[in-house]
Homo-oligomer: A and B are copies of this chain.
């Protein structure tokens, strides 16, 4: 039997009434688990919205939000009038590092980060003082050392991104990153733990992406700094959601 037509009805869980975001996250997590566990294989068609509503006893908007997020995260793809299909399968280690309902929330952190940090990187290229550049460079070295010690290095990663924000010459940017600290720490821990357990090549890529951001800021090239920050965050998310296999 393939996953093609397998309904989600073996999920007996009744979702507890909570606020709408949480319900959608719980549903997201349930579907994600079926994907990571291989119950829903790549290419499998998800049940209809109506069927998911009745299986999970949730309202249509909750289902729509969960499916929209799964699509935004690159895990499923909707084909208009045909249905929704599994697109990529994250590592089954993913659920070792975060509760399935939290994963949705951690992946959502990438969207405001993309907006804010791409701009930070560009402004930092134009405005960073020499002292601020040194701090970015030190954070980069600390991240390299953490990887060498076999740690996941999330605190060093956060310090790097905060140092870039500080270089943007507008205290609102680091303030907003601090506002996101809780969710970013969960998100970074999840992503970097997967990297820690992954291949040498994967760790090399993560470091190289950070190094290119630093180099672009160092050489005061705003467009290049924006490109490398956007690329890094986009690839980080893709690595978590398994868009490129194990990388």
Tell me the A residues contacting B by CB distance below 8 Å: 21, 61, 64-65, 68-69, 72, 74, 77, 80-81, 87, 108-109, 111-112, 114-116, 118-120, 123, 127, 129, 168-173, 175-176, 179-180, 183, 215, 219, 221, 224, 227, 230-231, 234, 243
Task: From B77, B112, B127, B227, give the contact of A231 (CB < 8 A).
Answer: B227
In the complex, the answer to whether A172 meets B176 with C-beta atoms within 8 Å is no
In the complex, the answer to whether A176 meets B173 with C-beta atoms within 8 Å is no
Task: From B64, B68, B169, B231, give the contact of A68 (CB < 8 A).
Answer: B169
Task: From B108, B118, B215, B221, give the contact of A170 (CB < 8 A).
Answer: B108
14 new A-B contacts, CB < 8 A, other than A21-B171, A224-B234, are A64-B129, A68-B127, A87-B219, A111-B119, A111-B123, A111-B168, A111-B173, A112-B116, A112-B172, A115-B115, A176-B180, A227-B231, A227-B234, A231-B231
In the complex, the answer to whether A111 meets B68 with C-beta atoms within 8 Å is no
A-B contact pairs, 13 of them (CB 8 A): A21-B171, A69-B169, A72-B127, A74-B221, A81-B81, A108-B170, A108-B171, A108-B172, A111-B172, A172-B183, A175-B179, A227-B227, A231-B231
List the B residue with the shortest CB-CB distance to A61: B129
Residues of B within 8 A of A231 (CB): 227, 231
Residues of B within 8 A of A234 (CB): 224, 227
Residues of B within 8 A of A219 (CB): 74, 77, 87
Residues of B within 8 A of A119 (CB): 111-112, 114-115
Bound CA span A111–B234, Å = 22
Residues of B within 8 A of A112 (CB): 116, 119, 170, 172-173, 176
Residues of B within 8 A of A227 (CB): 227, 230-231, 234
CB proximity of A230 to chain B, nearest CB, Å: 6
Bound CA span A65–B114, Å = 26
List the B residue with the shortest CB-CB distance to A81: B81
List the B residue with the shortest CB-CB distance to A183: B172
